[in-house]
Amino acid sequence: MIVVVCPGQGSQTPGFLAPWLEIPGLSERLAKYSEAAGLDLEQHGTVSDAETIRDTAVAQPLIVAAGLLTLSALIDGHLDLIGGVAGHSVGEFTAAAAAGVLTDTDAVSLVAARGRAMAEAAALTPTGMSAVIGADEDELLSRLAELGLEPANFNGAGQIVVAGALDALEKLAANPPASSRVIPLQVAGAFHTRYMASAVEALAAAAAGIEPGEPDLTLWTNKDGHRVSSGSEFLDLLVGQVASPVRWDKCMESFSRNEVTGIIELAPAGALVGLAKRALKGTPTVAVKTPDDLEAAIEMLENA
């Protein structure tokens, strides 16, 4: 089984969409996504600087739009060769569209509402996130409880992203768990924690008018890595995951149990393939960063 994975926030880089817009039809598709998001995604994906596209309200719809453009180029004649799909955090919106739970435009519109709501929630209290590498999980969780911090992303491969008040993150960095490193992340707030409660409410209101479809591909959730068979359940999970931890480690465990034989990461690709190389050793991977990578991805699908 070949699984397509969809990256989350932080994977974007200035100008990364430019080569994709040379493919006929993708510029017009992006214009449709821009209208749905209420943003000029072509500008942000081609000429906006790193600081601009780091803005949560910009980054989230931009990443989902990029994934959908990549997917449209990848699945042209090859949809039946894809065994399943999963997304990391905001990438779950890309995955929802890939599996038919959301339309492309609903996915982009809804994730734009998510980005705005999370940016507004982050502005209420100064918070941040740090990646902790190489810590014993139990020791780390105990230390987080002492400091009032929360685990936000269990990424697998020895990496857990934690979040909360800035002074508490500084204390963690000054006295980290044994044999671990603490790396501050350039994000606007404590995503996937209690600090995002108001964003959950806003996203639930935005999602209320959407009628989800049933997934037509195997679809895994960040909640706990289980396979979701109901579109309405997945939409509820999309709303709730704004303030709950991302269990990408559990998704990768599910890939292993389901005999996944290859992983293709959509643009802006690299992070999830990197985690898979460490946690799922021996599983072939392709990071589709530019159109030049499509040939290798399609070859993987055709040889599955």
Instruction: Specify the CATH number of the domain 2-122+193-302.
Output: 3.40.366.10
- Asked if pLDDT for residue 230 goes beyond 80, the answer is yes
Question: For the chain, where are the alpha helices, taking DSSP H only?
Answer: 26-37, 41-46, 50-54, 56-74, 91-98, 104-122, 137-147, 166-174, 197-207, 231-240, 248-257, 271-279, 294-302
Intervals of CATH 3.30.70.250 along the chain: 127-184
Intervals of CATH 3.40.366.10 along the chain: 2-122+193-302
pLDDT tens, position by position, 236-258: 999 999 999 999 999 999 999 98
CATH class of 127-184: alpha beta
In angstroms, rounded to a whole number, what is the distance separating the alpha carbons of residues 181 and 61? Answer: 31
Q: What is the pLDDT of the chain when averaged over all its residues?
A: 96
- Asked if pLDDT for residue 22 goes beyond 80, the answer is yes
Average pLDDT over residues 162-176: 97
Return the structure tokens found at 27.
């510029």
Tell me if 244 sits within 8 A of 192, measured CB to CB.
yes
Is residue 201 exposed (0-12), middle (13-18) or buried (19+ Cβ within 10 Å)?
Answer: middle
Average pLDDT over residues 142-171: 97
The pLDDT of residue 10: 86
pLDDT band at 204 (very low <50, low <70, confident <90, very high): very high
181-184: strand order across its sheet: 181-184, 127-133, 159-165, 150-156, 246-247
The pLDDT of residue 189: 93
- Asked if pLDDT for residue 304 goes beyond 80, the answer is no
Strand partners, 162: 130, 151
Tell me if 85 sits within 8 A of 218, measured CB to CB.
yes
In angstroms, rounded to a whole number, what is the distance separating the alpha carbons of residues 115 and 111? Answer: 6
The pLDDT of residue 250: 97
Please state whether beta strands 246-247 and 218-219 pair in parallel, antiparallel, or not at all (unpaired): unpaired
The answer, as to whether pTM is greater than 0.75, is yes
Closest CA to 87 of 217, 251, 212: 251
Is residue 159 exposed (0-12), middle (13-18) or buried (19+ Cβ within 10 Å)?
Answer: buried
Strand partners, 128: 164
Closest CA to 247 of 183, 180, 156: 156
Average pLDDT over residues 41-56: 96
- Asked if pLDDT for residue 67 goes beyond 90, the answer is yes
Q: Which of 34, 88, 109, 192 is catalytic?
A: 192
Decide if 89 is catalytic: yes
- Asked if pLDDT for residue 85 goes beyond 90, the answer is yes
Q: Which of 34, 48, 89, 130 is catalytic?
A: 89
DSSP secondary structure code for residue 215 in this structure: P
Neighbours of 50 (CB within 10 A): 11
Average pLDDT over residues 78-91: 92
Decide if 192 is catalytic: yes
Strand partners, 131: 161, 183
- Asked if pLDDT for residue 194 goes beyond 90, the answer is yes
